[in-house]
């Protein structure tokens, strides 16, 4: 009877050990990192989609050709960013800080950076040209 109890106890310990190892594997190599990476990709694609939609609207009216060579200035105050397209009436606010250096870059180059996966560049397009 004691041998059977000891054997059952041993199997229970082995089963718990296997569960712990399985959980560690899922956390470090499997499900969780993949889920986090997928969420980041969705966020990035959402920003790209918003910026692209804005540019498509400007293309439809023929305005994009006139403003894509314009520079954008960014100023941040109290956690809010203001983006202004130089020489135009286009200006807007973004409710966070945008970490993108616009010096020497025009709207066309910023848009290209956005489409290359730079989320901060997408935020500049959305801030400056979005409604």
Residue 89 included in any domain: yes
Q: How many domains does the chain have?
A: 1
Residue 12 included in any domain: no
With tokens 């203001």, the residue in question is 82
Query: Given this model, what pLDDT does residue 107 score?
Result: 96
Residue 5 included in any domain: no
Residue 15 included in any domain: no
* Cβ contact 117:106 at 8 Å: no
Residue 108 included in any domain: yes
Residue 2 included in any domain: no
Residue 83 included in any domain: yes
Residue 25 included in any domain: no
pLDDT tens-place string over residues 35-76: 566 566 667 888 999 999 999 999 999 999 999 999 999 999
pLDDT tens-place string over residues 75-111: 999 989 999 999 999 999 999 999 999 998 999 999 9
Query: Given this model, what pLDDT does residue 29 score?
Result: 64
Q: What is the mean pLDDT of the chain?
A: 85
Range of the domain at 95: 40-130
The alpha carbons of the chain give a radius of gyration, in whole angstroms, of 26
């Amino acid at each position: 009877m004691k041998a059977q109890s000891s054997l059952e106890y041993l199997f229970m310990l082995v089963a718990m050990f296997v569960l712990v190892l399985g959980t560690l594997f899922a956390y470090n190599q499997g499900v969780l990192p993949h889920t986090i990476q997928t969420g980041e990709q969705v966020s990035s694609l959402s920003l790209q989609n918003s910026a692209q939609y804005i540019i498509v609207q400007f293309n439809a009216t023929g305005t994009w050709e006139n403003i894509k060579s314009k520079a954008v200035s960014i100023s941040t105050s109290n956690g809010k960013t203001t983006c202004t397209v130089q020489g135009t009436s286009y200006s807007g606010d973004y409710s966070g800080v945008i970490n993108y250096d616009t010096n020497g870059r025009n709207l066309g180059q910023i848009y290209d950076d956005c489409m290359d996966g730079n989320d901060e560049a997408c935020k500049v397009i959305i801030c400056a040209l979005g409604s």
